[in-house]
Structure 1
Amino acid sequence: MTERSIRLWRFACAVLLCCACFVAWPAIPASAAWQPMLAVGLMKGQTEVSLSVRQGTANLFADGKAAGSVSDGATLRISLRTDSFLVNGRKIPGSTFVVKPVGKAVLAVNGKLYRGSLRLLRRGNTIQVINDVQTEDYLRGVLPSEMPPEWPLEAKKAQAVAARTFALANRGRHKSEGYDLCTTTHCQSYSGIQVERNASTAAIDATFGQVAMYQGRLIDAVFHTDSGGMTENSEDVWGTKIPYLRATSEVRRATQPWQKEWALSVFSAKLHAKSDVGTLKRIQLSPLQIGKATTDRSVSGRVKTVALVGDRGTLRLSGNEMRNLFGLKSTLFDLRISGNRVIATGYGYGHGLGLSQWGAKAYAEQGASAKDILVHYYRDIQIKDLYKK
């Protein structure tokens, strides 16, 4: 093959590759960098949905075919018929109805504003609403809900990287339901445009495309409100050892103290849901010392198991079972009987894995960078640019 032929062949391959990419990826404004799209499940089980367009126009599609457009301020009232959507009284056949904003337009569903497109799916006799949104725009509706906008910038930057990594590592978490992520703390709190704040967006922009990786793979960047003084090893929460989720000490101990009480009879009755031990007589649990492991406590001091002795038998529960059964803020607690009361006293809020949000704030106030914070909470990770502006 001659040099000229080789050049022509390379040119042809480049053209084909560009065409393939054009077909594979949706059009993106010239000012926007490519970034992954996320499908967020906003609501399901709806019999009627109200959509409106703000600050521009939007195009409509039904099962991939153009179905018209709507202008700024227009409202669409959408319900179902046997084989179609009923949109402002007009029948539009199909099982999927999509509203795509043009330019800087934004969409509202039942009065709440969202960036990106809205996709309505027929689910039997009800409608499911999904928000298809770029990752960075998704984060704008997440970060202010997960960390106060007035907190230090470096703490918010660390949270932004963790939230971005978590979202991308957990795409498809709700695949069986037709989307990637939900809007609750099961995934991440997401409320769209209404919660956006400039201070939070600044942290997102400053970390654009940055993610946390371990051995070349996105980590499951879980986080929680406050560790109470020390985070936890993954195997003591999930039963599986994850190399980057290791227990680590905090700059402050015994944070977020809490207490909860029950009448002895009420506490005993709750135990009956697990086993009929009768009236509680004794609790076998070693005293809490943050950062000290015992046979019934993990390395951070969290409860691994507690023995609850009643007049009819003994019940052993894990710390997580106790937390779920009695609505405790964490498993970093002491438990005792005092007269006819049962008293739990503890520290922290959340499962204790990964980044502690209040801990990140404390480190940022001491001058730590976002990277310092992230490598403290996620062991042996690297911060990488998954995509750039």
Structure 2
Amino acid sequence: MKQKTFKILAVCLALALWMLPTMVMAAPQKSDKMSKAPAKETVSRTTPSKANTDKTNTAKTNTAKADTSKKAVPAAKKEEPMLRVGLAEEQNSAVFSADNDYVVRDGATGKGLEKKTHKDKLTITVKNHQFVLNGKAVSAKKIKLKPVDSKEKIVFSYNDTKYRGEFELVLKNGSFTVINIVKLDDYIGGVLNEEMGEGWPSEAMKAQAVAARTFALYTVGEEKHEEDGYDVCATTHCQVYGGVESESRDALAAVSATRGEVMTYGGKPIYAAFHASSGGRTAGSDETNEVLPYLKSRLDREDSVNPNQEWQIAVPVTTLVQKLRSEGYNIGTLKRIEISPLDIQSPKPSKDRYTSCRVKTVRFVGSVKTVEVPGTKLRWIFGLHSTLFDIRYGSGKSIKPNKDGKIEIKNRSGETITFDGAGWGHGLGLSQWGARGMAAKHGYRDILARYYTDVKIEKLF
């Protein structure tokens, strides 16, 4: 049966399972994660563990909607989903070993091609559009590495990095794609420290585990990598996945404590975006290409525990003009910058800022022409950590704040434009630093309730 048919059956089964969920609670929740957010970052998210490199009414108001009972979550009787994780594409060689005996099979016919003990290494290369296993060419276009005994657990080493589950290699255009087929929670165990980092409070780690699990299932449903032959990739485009070597005792404990739990809205896994730091206010779904009622802009005071929450990036006026020109914005001599002043405590509706106060557009008035540049574009051009920023102008110690939204440029020597910002990442969904701040007094369900409005946490397996 073809792979696409398997995928359709798998998706249908998953949808059927979600129709009969076991409800756990009702909640008003590295890497920034985004497919439908300004630039996920996708999703490229930055994570606290990477030292902030790629968003609420009060906690009392939000957590009032959450079920914070201490009742044990009923055990689910549904089968744990398997994920196909794309580790690498366009590969010409790979070296495998395992901690248990394994077999190499033709992925199409199931025929055994090689049987290896846990002591054996397997070198796979490509020659003349054929797989070559330890120097022996085989006709299979797809090969699988599986334990000899299907009931035995196994850990494979792929190019000296360890992974749970099984492997599939798919030949394509003279090279191959490497896919790790792994149970969902084993996958989350290899994601958690990559996205949040080791040593964080357990309740924050639990919240991240539920968000990461939900995000993975949402990504499967979106079929972002269907043409690539797998469900999710192992980079910030989806979620960073490091396999066994990214696991830790705390991370595995968080995965185990939340086993099978996912956030749903309308019976489906939500787009559980997350990011490093909200800067004091989360972003809303008006900043995405789709209305997502569970992603709303809220104050996020607990995010202030981030020691690097605020940032400044200064750019000489001449450099700013040059960089704008290189991106197709030839404004001539800069005369004025127009952007509504930033006030995250009492935001006011404006045409150039979203409800979260993040910049929608900045207007640059020049001698040649006037342009409006999206905030996400400016973030990319000038390496800004988020789009939650204001602009100051001046030289030396005479840097004037933005008072009325119109910054007049004098074009004197040494003048600088300063981006005054807060937060790290796109701002949607869970703020990892905010979760850390909340974890001092709140459980993971309350944390999720803060960042994702009116969702349910359901036990999938």
What residue number does 1:111 align with? 160
Superposition pairs of residues 300-339 of structure 1, within 5 angstroms: 300-339=356-395
Matching of residue 361 in structure 1 with residue 436 in structure 2: yes
Match of 1:281 among 314, 327, 335: 335
Going from structure 1 to structure 2, the CA distance change for 1:207 and 1:252 (only over 3 Å counts) comes to closer
Stretch deviating more after TM superposition (168-177 or 251-260): 251-260
Answer yes or no: is the 8 Å Cα contact 2:303–2:434 preserved in 1: no
Give me the CA root mean square deviation: 2.0
Inter-partner Cα distance in structure 1 for 2:113 and 2:119: 18
Q: Which residue of 2 aligns with 1:346?
A: 421
Larger deviation, residues 80-89 vs 219-228: 80-89
Matched to 2:102, the amino acid is A
**CA distance in 2 between partners of 1:276 and 1:265 (Å):** 13
Question: Structure 1 residues 161-170 or 82-91, which shifts more?
Answer: 82-91
One of 79, 88, 111 as aligned partner of 1:34: 79
Distance 1:106 1:239 in 2: 40
Tell whether 2:344 aligns with 1:290.
Answer: yes
2:244 paired residue number: 193
Read off the aligned partner of 1:341 and give its amino acid letter: T
Corresponding residue SS for 1:374: helix
- Is residue 246 of structure 1 aligned with residue 296 of structure 2? yes
Q: Is the 8 A contact 2:294 2:455 kept in 1?
A: yes
Alignment of 1:102-141 (within 5 A): 102=148, 103-141=152-190
Match of 2:124 among 65, 78, 85: 78
Higher relative contact order (CA 8 A, sep 6+): 2
Instruction: Tell me the CA shift for residue 33 of structure 1.
Output: 7.6
CA shift, 1:281, in A, is 2.9
The Cα shift of 1:299 comes to 2.3
Alpha-carbon separation, structure 2, partners of 1:227 and 1:182: 25
Deviations 1:367-388, CA, capped at 9 Å, x for gaps: 211111111111001111011x
**Once structures 1 and 2 are overlaid, which stretch shifts more, 352-361 or 268-277?**
268-277
Instruction: Tell me which amino acid in the other structure corresponds to 2:177.
Output: Q
Aligned to 1:271: 324
User: In structure 2, what is the Cα distance between the partners aligned to 1:73 and 1:312?
Assistant: 71
Q: Aligned letter for 2:388?
A: L
SS in structure 1 at match of 2:301? coil
Greater than 4 Å deviation, 4+ residue runs: none
| Superposition map of 1:159-178 within 5 A | 159-171=208-220, 172-178=223-229
Q: Between the two proteins, what is the percent identity of the paired residues? A: 41
> 1:38-62 CA distances to partner (integer Å, 9 max, x unpaired)?
1111011111111122x21111112
Runs of 5+ consecutive residues of structure 1 not aligned to the other structure: 1-20, 25-31
Structure 1 or 2, whichever has the larger Rg, is 1
Residue pair 2:277, 2:303 contacting (<8 A) in 1 also: no
State whether structure 2 residue 435 is matched by structure 1 residue 384.
no
1:283–1:336 Cα contact (<8 Å) kept: no
TM-score by length of 1: 0.87
The residue number in structure 1 matching 2:113 is 67
Structure 2 segments unaligned to the other structure (5+ residues): 1-9, 14-76, 396-414
Match of 1:18 in 2: none
What is aligned with 1:6? none
Query: Following the alignment from structure 1 to structure 2, what is the Cα–Cα distance between the partners of residues 239 and 131?
Result: 31
1:258 alignment partner in structure 2: 311
Q: Distance in 1 between matches of 2:138 and 2:379?
A: 49
8 Å Cα contact 2:102-2:147 kept in structure 1? yes
Normalising by structure 2, report the TM-score. 0.74
